[in-house]
Each structure stands twice: as C-alpha cells, then as structure tokens.
C-alpha cells in the first residue's frame, strides 16, 4: 500500500455514491424548478432570488464534480488487520512525555484524507501523525513535528 495514494473506505465510497445519486437526481430537479420559478418573476438583472439559485446551482455542480473525482481517483480499502500500520488500521498509541512519563492510551484509525476527522479519532495517512505511523509496527516509537515542538508516541497495538 502506497502512503501517497488516495484512499477511501468501503463505507465512505458507499456514502459518496448515495450522495452523488441524490445530487444528480432530486437536488438537480429542485434547483431547475426553482430556477424556472425565479425566471418567471421577471427582470433577471434585479432578481436576487434568481442570482441566489444560480449560485446554489454552481455549488451543486461543483460538489458533483468533486465527488466524481474522488470516486474515480481513490482506491477503496477494507480495513487494516495486519501487523503494519496502513490505511484502515486501528492504532493504539501512548504519548511519551519526558516530564510526566507515559500518558493515557489513545486509539486512532488511519484513513484517507477525505475521511479524516480528529474528533472521531480518524487521522489522514497524509497528516504529519499519519505519515509518522504509516509502515510502523507494534512496539515502534514514532515522533513528528507540531507547532509546539516534537511529539513522541509508542505504538501499543495495531489492528
């Protein structure tokens, strides 16, 4: 598995496919209907509703293109499970602090950049922390730079 490639999980691919279907179907029809109504109101140069709907239409089409690009260029992964950290792996780490000793253990899932959500413990394989973990094994020590300095972690488990 290449660290530099774009990855998405099966769940994310399915969610994007459902969103794309909704955007291309019902959402497009809603905007077209709203656009027709706004046109019927008269002078388009002073029709704020028309201009707002055109802007919404542009955003919708932009999102459709973005999702199609993700689906075409991303490789779908199932989940880790091996001994080596890769996209889909669940990694238990413990921060090592020289002053206070070992900290609490935390679990992170390595995901592609489209799915990264630190509040849910999902970190991108392209983030500094994800890059530091990628390719490592249980028992390895990793460190990476943050704005407040170098941070050190020990890998406790990989699933």
The pLDDT of 131-135, averaged and rounded, is 93
CATH 3.10.50.30 residue window(s) in the chain? 90-158
We find that the CATH architecture of domain 90-158 is: Roll (3.10)
pLDDT interval class at 116 (50, 70, 90): very high
Nearest CA-CA partner of 137 in 86, 79, 78? 86
pLDDT in tens, 50-104: 999 999 999 999 999 999 999 999 998 876 667 899 888 999 999 887 666 667 8
CATH topology of domain 7-77: Helix Hairpins (1.10.287)
Provide φ and ψ at 139, rounded to 5°. 95, -15
**Chain center to CA of 79:** 15
pTM greater than 0.85: no
């Amino acid at each position: 598995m290449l660290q530099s490639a774009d990855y998405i999980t099966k769940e994310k691919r399915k969610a994007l496919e459902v969103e794309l279907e909704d955007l291309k179907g019902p959402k497009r029809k809603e905007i077209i209907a709203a656009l027709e109504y706004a046109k019927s109101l008269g002078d388009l140069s002073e029709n704020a509703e028309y201009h707002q709907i055109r802007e919404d239409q542009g955003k919708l089409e932009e999102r459709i293109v973005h999702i199609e690009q993700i689906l075409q260029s991303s490789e779908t992964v199932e989940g880790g499970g091996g001994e080596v950290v890769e996209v889909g792996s669940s990694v238990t780490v413990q921060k090592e602090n020289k002053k206070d000793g070992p900290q609490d253990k935390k679990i992170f899932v390595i995901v592609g950049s489209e799915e990264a959500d630190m509040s849910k413990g999902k970190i991108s394989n392209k983030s500094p922390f994800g890059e530091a973990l990628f390719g490592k094994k249980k028992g390895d020590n990793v460190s990476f730079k943050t704005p407040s300095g170098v941070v050190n972690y020990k890998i406790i488990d990989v699933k």
